[in-house]
Amino acid sequence: MKSGSLYPLDPIPAPADGCGRELVHTGGRLFFTSRPATSSEGCADALGSVGVAATAEGGKAGEVMYSSSPIHLEGGPGGLLVTAPERWSPTADPDLGIYRVTDGADGNLLEFLGERRFTEDGTDRGMDFRDADFSADGSVLAVADGVRGTVLLGGQDARFLENPYAPLPEGVAPTAVAFSPDGKWFAQGGAASGDAADLTLAFADPSVERQPLRISFEDEAAGHRVVPRGMEFSGDGQQLFVVTSNQEGTRFWLHTIQTREALAPSRFVDVTHGPAVAGGPFRVTGRLDLDGLAPTEAPRITVQRLNGLEVADLPPVPVAEDGTFVLEDVLPDRVGDVHYVLGYAGDEVHYRSEHWLVVDTVKASNTVTRGGR
């Protein structure tokens, strides 16, 4: 375990903020919101701003924009930055902005890429922001909207995109979205009642046709809903961290979900073997059963033979299109137990599996040749 200390690189012009501050690090710079007010009751009317901290390399601190309503920030790959104001009334239509952080050589730290209002003619309710996250390559921005559910926008221009993902169950209020940094997973969180799912975990690639993993948080000891902006993946995409709360929002829980739980199962079935004579040829047959989708490449089975303290790695065994396989070996020249470990490492859509086979070898019988008289 490593320990250390933190210290400011340079003064940061960030006044005290009793209204709640957001921090985002993107493009090598730290951005933060400020909304100073004399009391918590004044937060709704206070003028807010987005500032940037100084850097050790000489990047100056300062304000980059102002806002008349509370504003949310989200960072993305390649220095992408999203600004999303809250609605100041049910009929308001705030505009979401997408920027890219620059070196500031021309005096502008942010390059404007695009903006999006969720209704242009005022006939519908505008954006009701809950959360946003960029895909791993920055091409897609997912927005959790309190009215529309999950909305997908172009990550470079904020245009509307078709949403191919299975939505949260009907009646579930969306609260959070997250893409995994490895580009494999997409999660949607919400606040559900009853046993409806509060969380769906799916492949980020919509061409992978598999039903998402659905999880319901309905436990007094585990929370009842995913809180707004309450999800984040680990850097390798193998864990999804989820914060839940009770209905009143007075207690909170942190959950760690292994993303492999969303992979389709694999299993060894019908594994049988022929005669097991010490020192003789040995044959094992069986089938690798893969749920759901066809494997992304032809499966192969790894084989280890354990003979007492001796461990041998045998050549991988190919799997036929119908899932069947045949293992052929020569047994050790001794009587006793021999263990075979059959393994499937899994693929992009299937989870790994393993099968242990214990073989009791016998001594070869003596053959007596009877001659004619």
pLDDT of amino acid 56:
74
Task: Say what the alpha-carbon torsion angle 242, 243, 245, 249 is, to the nearest 10 degrees.
Answer: -140
**Residue 150 bridge partners (DSSP):** 144
First and final C-alpha spacing in the chain? 85
Q: Tell me: pLDDT of 215 over 70.
A: yes
Q: How confident is the model at residue 373 (pLDDT cuts 50, 70, 90)?
A: very low
pLDDT of amino acid 132:
97
* 136-148 pLDDT per residue, tens: 999 999 999 998 9
pLDDT of amino acid 7:
65
Alpha carbon of 358 to those of 1, 26, 268, 305: distances in Å?
42, 55, 15, 10
pLDDT of amino acid 9:
56
pLDDT of amino acid 368:
46
pLDDT of amino acid 372:
46
The percentage of the chain sitting over the pLDDT mark of 70, rounded to a whole number, equals 91
Instruction: Compute how many other C-beta atoms are within 10 angstroms of the C-beta atom of residue 181.
Output: 16
CB 360 within 8 A of CB 340: no
Q: How confident is the model at residue 193 (pLDDT cuts 50, 70, 90)?
A: confident
State both tokens at 140: 């897609």
Considering only CA atoms, give the Rg of the chain.
29
State mean pLDDT over 337-361.
91
State mean pLDDT over 18-31.
90
* 280-306 pLDDT per residue, tens: 999 999 999 988 777 778 899 999 999
pLDDT of amino acid 338:
95
The percentage of the chain sitting over the pLDDT mark of 90, rounded to a whole number, equals 56
- Answer with the residue of higher pLDDT: 33 or 368: 33
Q: What share of the chain is helix, strand, coil (3-state, %, to 5)?
A: 5, 50, 50
10 secondary structure, DSSP code: S
Q: Tell me: pLDDT of 101 over 90.
A: yes
Length of the chain: 373
Going through 135-184 in order, the beta strands assigned E by DSSP cover 140-145, 149-154, 160-161, 173-179
Q: How confident is the model at residue 87 (pLDDT cuts 50, 70, 90)?
A: confident
Per the prediction, the chain carries an average pLDDT of 87
